[in-house]
Amino acid sequence: MTLLGRNGAGKTTTIKTIMGILHPKSGTIKLNGEEIVGLSPHQIAKRGVGFIPEDRRIFPSLTVSENLMVPVWGIGTEGWSNEKIFSFFPTLKARINNKGSQLSGGEQQMLAIARILRAKMDLILLDEPTEGLAPLLVRSIGEIIKEIKNSGLTLLLIEQNIKFVTHFADRHYILYAGELVYSESNERFKDNFEIQKKYLGI
């Protein structure tokens, strides 16, 4: 599922609040029926929520191999093995001894996603994964997102590329000025150009 909206609509604020990085002024956030407002980010991660921020936050001084050794472990499904990760990201295997600072933007995004997949997460919050990437890399990211979905994990994705997300998302939510103004299935959303133009500027 996706969380869509123009810049400043509150998308990143929403997922940072889910992750416990920001604190809501009111309301509740429940994960599997459990209230998680007030928990720290590491406590939420241990409950199976992984967060991949827009700026990736890999460790620049560590190698690809070392980055993959230090995910925060949650309690969700079994994490992906390095073998499986490298089958989808052969570029990372080729750069396994390179430091994070030596990777391109696309390679850093792959590593950020791979690091979360190594952990045991049930829910992944992914912020703008295709931002600044070449079309070929965007397609690669799309394939791995499809695989995440097919593996049974739940993904909440923030993305500006509408064409990209309609290839795999089941449902879309739109924020406008901090409020949820639209919720619909992918099939109905992708052909609703009036809604896309009104709230997304397309």
How does pLDDT run across 4-33, given as a tens digit for each residue?
A: 999 889 999 999 999 999 999 899 999 999
80-124 pLDDT, tens per residue? 888 888 888 899 999 999 999 999 888 898 899 988 888 878 899
Nearest to 132 by CA among 154, 162, 95, 104: 104
Q: Is the pLDDT of residue 60 over 60?
A: yes
The pLDDT assigned to 106 comes to: 85
Q: How many CB atoms lie within 10 A of CB 29?
A: 17
pLDDT of residue 151: 81
Domain coverage including residue 130 = 2-200
Domains held by the chain: number: 1
Bridge partners, residue 63, by sequence: 99
**CB crowding 118-134: b at 16 or more within 10 Å, else e:** bbbbbbbbbbbbbbebe
Residue with tokens 């997949």: 117
CA distances 177 to 8, 9, 15, 24, 29, Å, are 7, 5, 15, 16, 20
Radius of gyration, CA atoms only, the chain:
17
Average pLDDT over residues 44-53: 90
58: amino acid identity, one letter: I
CATH of the domain at 185: 3.40.50.300
